[in-house]
Amino acid sequence: MSKIKDIAIASPNPDETAEFYKRVFDLTEVGRVDNSNAVSYYLTDGSINLAVLRFRDPIMAGAEFGVDYSGIHHIGFQVDHTEETESKLRNNNSLPRSDINAAMRSSMGSGHGGRNVETKCSGPDGIMLDISQSGWVSAEGE
């Protein structure tokens, strides 16, 4: 069974946004990254992760979003079998985001390159999807 495990929002003020979710909803910060791709906070309630991102790299942001986008960026699903899910995605016109996957060194059906836990693909209504079999840090609850 697939489960929602990761929701990412893009924000022009990731420090303030992350602090808001920590203060108001008692989310725990489980990671922070500041590199040439993005400033990223990874928060969790123990079951679902919330990533707060300010993209620096337009390829990583996705052409349809860009680095100045603010709002829901993607939703991550942890699945039992990535290859089966990836086949279902293709059969439903959800294509791999080769631009972003190449930048992440991730690809469908290849164990995600051993580097990243997810593969990005297009979803309906312009929402990007992340597919992972192994999940994300601290999103382990039922």
Asked if 52 and 40 count as a contact pair (C-beta separation under 8 A), the reply is yes
**pLDDT, tens digit, 9 for 90 and up, residues 16-54:** 999 999 998 899 999 999 999 999 999 999 999 999 999
Give the fold, CATH level 3, of 3-132.
2,3-Dihydroxybiphenyl 1,2-Dioxygenase; domain 1 (3.10.180)
For the chain, where are the alpha helices, taking DSSP H only? 14-25, 58-61, 82-91, 98-104
The predicted pLDDT at position 138 comes to: 63
**pLDDT, tens digit, 9 for 90 and up, residues 76-126:** 888 888 888 888 989 998 888 888 888 877 654 444 344 447 888 888 777
Domain extents for the chain?
Answer: 3-132
Band (pLDDT 50/70/90 cuts) for residue 133 is confident
